[in-house]
Amino acid sequence: MTEPPRWIASSYSGGDGGQCVEWAPAHAAATGEFLVRDSKVQEGPRLVLSREGFAGLVALAKSYS
């Protein structure tokens, strides 16, 4: 059985706790799959992105800050 991913909040998430995006960096390093989820719906759907897709998501987040 594999260990569940360890999630951390993105530094681009809102500071009021209402807009928190989490990702699993250790999982990404081990597998090349970049997992992203909404912290308010932890058992909900997850995005599985490639390195390039994740970089695009980060670039989009930066453009809004």
Mean pLDDT, range 20-31, rounded to an integer? 94
Residue 51 and residue 34 in contact, taking contact as beta carbons nearer than 8 Å: yes
Q: Identify which has the larger pLDDT, 59 or 62.
A: 59
Distance CA 55, CA 41 (A): 23
Token pair, residue 3, equals 């260990």
Mean pLDDT, range 23-29, rounded to an integer? 96
pTM for the whole structure: 0.80
Domain limits, the chain: 19-64
Token pair, residue 17, equals 């706790």
Alpha carbon 58 to its chain's center: 10
Distance CA 64, CA 34 (A): 21
Distance CA 14, CA 18 (A): 7
